[in-house]
Chains A and B, each alone.
Chain A
Amino acid sequence: MNGRLTITVDGRRIEARAGQTILEACQDAGVYVPRLCAHPKLSVYGSCRVCTCLVGGRATAACVQPVQPGMVIENDSDRVLEIRRTIIEMLFVEGNHFCMVCEKSGDCELQALAYRFGITHPRFPYMFPERPIDAGHPELLLDHDRCVLCGRCVRASAELDGKSALGFAGRGLRRRIEADGPRGLAGTDATGDDTIAEVCPVGALLRKGTAYRTPYGRRRYDHEPIGGDIDAPCGEAQEDR
């Protein structure tokens, strides 16, 4: 199964390595596939579905599905973009995302995705859930209002930090991240040096005292759209049709 193979993405032929996911293969070829739960340092989780693309007309999570020879993938069609836009809007109405007062604004992947998709307001009613803030830890802050349940922190704690500071509780809409202990994050062995805040795509898990080191206006997505570092400049990739 080792070796190279060819897939087609939006009519363009792309070289891929066997064993890669669609997302990885696209990324190597300079094609950005939007994502939220996927993270290069973490195991595959496949929960947010922001990376959904169509393979032979069927919706598939690009971060989960391995490439197969001859695969024909729709990544940039109206249908695919509509699915992704709907999912991003769902995440906005599900939580309480007040970007204008958020420490993470400008560095937030959810906010940046909304900009990339041109979402100015969601089409669905806001749910305005009541969620707590866990601020008891001396170095870390967990604001459930902004959590998108991507599970990056849960995986990072286990896979990168060698701990189990976080897990999931509840199910359905009541699903939430839960710290290892009745006293919240403060009761765990997590520290500010752990990777859990670093991997959080939004402003849900923050390292205290660091929020404004980079001022608003000079942050990552203030100048470049999310995925801009991956998208190959026009004309660089070979055209197939």
Chain B
Amino acid sequence: MAVNPLIRHAVERACHACGRDPTRMLDIVRGVQQRLGHVPDEAVDLIARETGAPRPDVAGVVGFYAFFSNRPQGRIVIRLCGDVVDRMHGVERVAEALVEELGVPFGETTPDGLFTLLWTPCIGMSDQAPAALVNDVVVTRLSRDVARQMVGELREHEDPHRFVRTYGDGNNAHPAVRAMVENNVRRAGPVVLADLERGAALARALRMTPAEVIREIKTARLRGRGGAGFPTGMKWEFTRAAAGDRKVLICNADEGEPGTFKDRVILTEHPDLVLEGMTIGAWAIGAQEGILYLRGEYAYLEAFLEQVLEARRRDGLLGRSILGREGFDFDVRIQLGAGAYVCGEETALIASCEGKRGDAKARPPFPAQHGYLGRPTSVNNVETFCCAARIIERGAAWFAGFGTPESAGTKLFSVSGDCHVPGVYELPFGTTLGELLDLAGADEAAAVQVGGPSGRLVAAEGARERRLGYEDLATGGSVMVFGPQRDPLWIVERFLEFFVDESCGVCTPCRVGNVLMHDAVRRVRAGLAGESDLEQLRALATTVGMASRCGLGQSSPNPVLSAMDAFPDHWRRHLHARSEPGLLPTFDVQAALRPAEMLTGRRSEVFPPREEERR
């Protein structure tokens, strides 16, 4: 069978660029998708043949990542962020305008093959919502009018870059970035958002032994900033001690937790600090190989980060014999993600770096023993590396002088939602929630989601004195503020929708349980639930949290459980709102009758349609 020459050419180019290496499958598929607009079955066959990978593995990758498509897509793909915060800022009106203007619903491509319109979860722009990705270009602060104007212009020139006319502050205006994104740094602290003398911290580290570096990090009591809060020094020590002479250090810049955008700002303004921390980490654990896993949504930063890497190589801060130290070789490659929240989870992230589907792996073995390509691997968050570099530069005591005994140092908080001053705040751990809300101008806060959807929903009243830190209100950075007009159950339902979409689906509790929880909350909101349904939902949520294989399913019940605790009346208010006498409130008799009614063309007289349906 003759292969379409266009497809053959695209596959050959993409495979060649990656040395036909199946562990670079994400880049290969991305390359094909860029050239063809999608990855047809024929291309999957060819990629399998070129790389020697089993065909189901290639097809599995194409099917797993939201940014890859097996079906033809428009030359311009508009991904509108459908996150909770965007919805609070009117993204639905933008969506309507886009549908009207394009003449196709979400999920579809215009007949002329120019546009595809899609929803996407949080793209890390909650501080400038509503936002969208137009191919790789970020468009922020959308309105109906801007959306219409954008479509009009794109019909003319088909170049999303040309639609961006004013650039954001700082490096957003850098020639390699040119994004309309704004940093919105509201409070720069001394640890992360401070200037760095390039190479100084690294030079200090090289005057120490790896063991001394690890000890310094431990003395500083540095804990991971990505959410789980594992002590960084310990993780490095385990990785260093693991058997195997090739070790790997990965920087987790997947930043997929909705409402988090602080890593975006760090990567834009302080990439050298991150890479300095990575190089120090490499010295500490004995790694030669580094990977910066950059979420696909931040592809607009890729060229810029490549330049930073190149400059560091040129200046002897990366590559062979770093800072002239014979035998210290370490380099970093960027691995671009492709739209999958679960890939922020470290085992899924490693699988993704290996060119596979982002399915979370069963543990043990842990990455420190058996990680990337079987090598001992340490995965750390962007901000964690910044802290590590600063600890070596300024000393453990200086660092531990900020924060609390359990939570040393400062933390970056990404504040968004119903507040006057959304943005990034670097504050010492131990700052109270009330202090942060005041800084952000969240005068009307009724509820706050601390830690993103996988964190906790708290009532603002009563939580103002609680402290941000691992010992009390832990967060990887996301702080979403909700005013009194927002229904907590609506928030919970949106979050569960997110988890349903993002579950990798390997394990039963998360794959099925999130759908069941979502359905249960939907039914409560629809007035179709009774007291026993709430009990069942609580039991279900507890089981999902306990039995799921990775952190996604282990934390997806958090919004349900915390909202039940914080807002019991809001749940109760919906109960039995409409129940027919003699029927369980959970039983939707009208829905059960609907097929029969449709077939017979008659409506039930005993159970007439509900008020809402009559209209």
Chain B residues contacting A170 (CB-CB under 8 Å) are 63-64, 505
Chain A residues contacting B56 (CB-CB under 8 Å) are 154, 164-169, 178-180
Could you tell me the distance in whole angstroms from the C-beta of A183 to the nearest C-beta in chain B?
10
Contact present for A171 and B543 (CB under 8 Å)? no
Contact present for A86 and B540 (CB under 8 Å)? yes
Given contacts A44-B362, A167-B54, A182-B41, contact A49 B60 (CB under 8 A): no
Given contacts A49-B508, A123-B536, A178-B60, contact A90 B546 (CB under 8 A): no
Chain A to chain B contacts (Cβ below 8 Å), 10 pairs: A49-B508, A61-B549, A86-B509, A125-B519, A149-B508, A164-B55, A167-B60, A168-B359, A173-B512, A180-B56
- The CA of A90 and the CA of B544, in the complex, are separated in Å by 11
Chain A contact patch, size range: 35 or more
The verdict on A107 contacting chain B, using a C-beta distance below 8 Å, is no
The verdict on B303 contacting chain A, using a C-beta distance below 8 Å, is no
Could you tell me the distance in whole angstroms from the C-beta of A40 to the nearest C-beta in chain B?
17
B357-400 to A contact mask, C-beta < 8 Å, 1/0? 10100111000000000000000000000000000000000000
B504-539 to A contact mask, C-beta < 8 Å, 1/0? 111111011111100100000000000000001001
**CB nearest to B505 among chain A residues:** A175
Q: Which B302-341 residues have C-beta < 8 A from chain A? A: 340
Chain A residues contacting B359 (CB-CB under 8 Å) are 168
Q: Which 9 A-B residue pairings sit nearest by Cβ, starting from the closest? A: A167-B56, A46-B362, A164-B54, A175-B505, A90-B512, A59-B546, A169-B63, A172-B503, A172-B505
Q: Which of B54, B56, B546 has the most CB of A within 10 A?
A: B56
A94-124 to B contact mask, C-beta < 8 Å, 1/0? 1000000000000000000000000000011
Could you tell me the distance in whole angstroms from the C-beta of B57 to the nearest C-beta in chain A?
6
Given contacts A169-B63, A178-B59, contact A87 B54 (CB under 8 A): no
Could you tell me the distance in whole angstroms from the C-beta of A86 to the nearest C-beta in chain B?
5
**CB nearest to A87 among chain B residues:** B508
Could you tell me the distance in whole angstroms from the C-beta of A85 to the nearest C-beta in chain B?
9
Chain B residues contacting A167 (CB-CB under 8 Å) are 54-57, 59-60
Q: Which of B59, B502, B503, B539 has the most CB of A within 10 A?
A: B59
**CB nearest to B540 among chain A residues:** A86
- The CA of A86 and the CA of B541, in the complex, are separated in Å by 11
Chain B contact patch, size range: 35 or more
Chain B residues contacting A125 (CB-CB under 8 Å) are 516, 519
A143-177 to B contact mask, C-beta < 8 Å, 1/0? 00000110000100010000011111111111100
Given contacts A127-B515, A170-B505, A172-B511, contact A181 B55 (CB under 8 A): yes
Chain A residues contacting B120 (CB-CB under 8 Å) are none
Contact present for B500 and A82 (CB under 8 Å)? no
Q: Which of B55, B359, B500, B513 has the most CB of A within 10 A?
A: B55
- The CA of A179 and the CA of B41, in the complex, are separated in Å by 13
Given contacts A61-B549, A164-B54, A164-B55, contact A49 B507 (CB under 8 A): yes
- The CA of A182 and the CA of B549, in the complex, are separated in Å by 31
Given contacts A61-B549, A90-B512, A164-B57, contact A171 B504 (CB under 8 A): yes
A28-50 to B contact mask, C-beta < 8 Å, 1/0? 00000000000000001111111
The verdict on B547 contacting chain A, using a C-beta distance below 8 Å, is yes
- The CA of A194 and the CA of B580, in the complex, are separated in Å by 55
Contact present for A90 and B500 (CB under 8 Å)? no
Contact present for B547 and A87 (CB under 8 Å)? yes
The verdict on A66 contacting chain B, using a C-beta distance below 8 Å, is yes
- Using CB atoms and an 8 Å cutoff, list the residues of chain B in contact with chain A: 41, 54-57, 59-60, 63-64, 340, 342, 357, 359, 362-364, 500-509, 511-516, 519, 536, 539-540, 543, 546-549
Could you tell me the distance in whole angstroms from the C-beta of A57 to the nearest C-beta in chain B?
10
- The CA of A91 and the CA of B501, in the complex, are separated in Å by 18
Contact present for A64 and B364 (CB under 8 Å)? yes
**CB nearest to A124 among chain B residues:** B516
Contact present for B549 and A172 (CB under 8 Å)? no
Could you tell me the distance in whole angstroms from the C-beta of A81 to the nearest C-beta in chain B?
11
Contact of B55 among A46, A61, A180 (CB under 8 A): A180
Could you tell me the distance in whole angstroms from the C-beta of B505 to the nearest C-beta in chain A?
3
**CB nearest to A183 among chain B residues:** B41
Q: Kindly list 6 other residue pairs between chains A and B, CB separation below 8 angstroms, not including A90-B513, A169-B59, A178-B56.
A: A64-B362, A87-B543, A148-B508, A149-B511, A171-B505, A178-B60
Contact present for B60 and A169 (CB under 8 Å)? yes
Contact present for B536 and A173 (CB under 8 Å)? no
Contact of A65 among B64, B342, B364, B516 (CB under 8 A): B364
The verdict on A71 contacting chain B, using a C-beta distance below 8 Å, is no
- The CA of A184 and the CA of B115, in the complex, are separated in Å by 31
**CB nearest to B56 among chain A residues:** A167
Contact present for B364 and A83 (CB under 8 Å)? no
- The CA of A52 and the CA of B548, in the complex, are separated in Å by 9
Q: Which of A48, A90, A127 has the most CB of B within 10 A?
A: A90
- The CA of A180 and the CA of B49, in the complex, are separated in Å by 13
- The CA of A91 and the CA of B512, in the complex, are separated in Å by 8
Contact present for B509 and A64 (CB under 8 Å)? no
**CB nearest to B501 among chain A residues:** A172
Could you tell me the distance in whole angstroms from the C-beta of B342 to the nearest C-beta in chain A?
8
Q: Which A10-34 residues have C-beta < 8 A from chain B? A: none
Contact present for A172 and B536 (CB under 8 Å)? no
A47-77 to B contact mask, C-beta < 8 Å, 1/0? 1111010000011010011100000000000
The verdict on A232 contacting chain B, using a C-beta distance below 8 Å, is no
Could you tell me the distance in whole angstroms from the C-beta of B600 to the nearest C-beta in chain A?
22
Chain A residues contacting B340 (CB-CB under 8 Å) are 171
- The CA of A125 and the CA of B512, in the complex, are separated in Å by 11
Contact present for A172 and B362 (CB under 8 Å)? no
Contact present for A45 and B362 (CB under 8 Å)? yes
Could you tell me the distance in whole angstroms from the C-beta of B38 to the nearest C-beta in chain A?
15
Could you tell me the distance in whole angstroms from the C-beta of B128 to the nearest C-beta in chain A?
29
Contact of A90 among B64, B357, B509, B539 (CB under 8 A): B509
Could you tell me the distance in whole angstroms from the C-beta of A171 to the nearest C-beta in chain B?
5
Contact present for B55 and A171 (CB under 8 Å)? no
Given contacts A90-B512, A90-B513, A168-B56, contact A47 B506 (CB under 8 A): yes
- The CA of A175 and the CA of B508, in the complex, are separated in Å by 11
Q: Which of A127, A158, A172 has the most CB of B within 10 A?
A: A172
Contact present for B500 and A47 (CB under 8 Å)? no
The verdict on A135 contacting chain B, using a C-beta distance below 8 Å, is no
Contact present for A49 and B509 (CB under 8 Å)? yes
- The CA of A42 and the CA of B27, in the complex, are separated in Å by 31
Contact present for B55 and A52 (CB under 8 Å)? no
- The CA of A50 and the CA of B359, in the complex, are separated in Å by 19
Contact present for A172 and B508 (CB under 8 Å)? no
Given contacts A178-B56, A178-B59, contact A83 B546 (CB under 8 A): yes
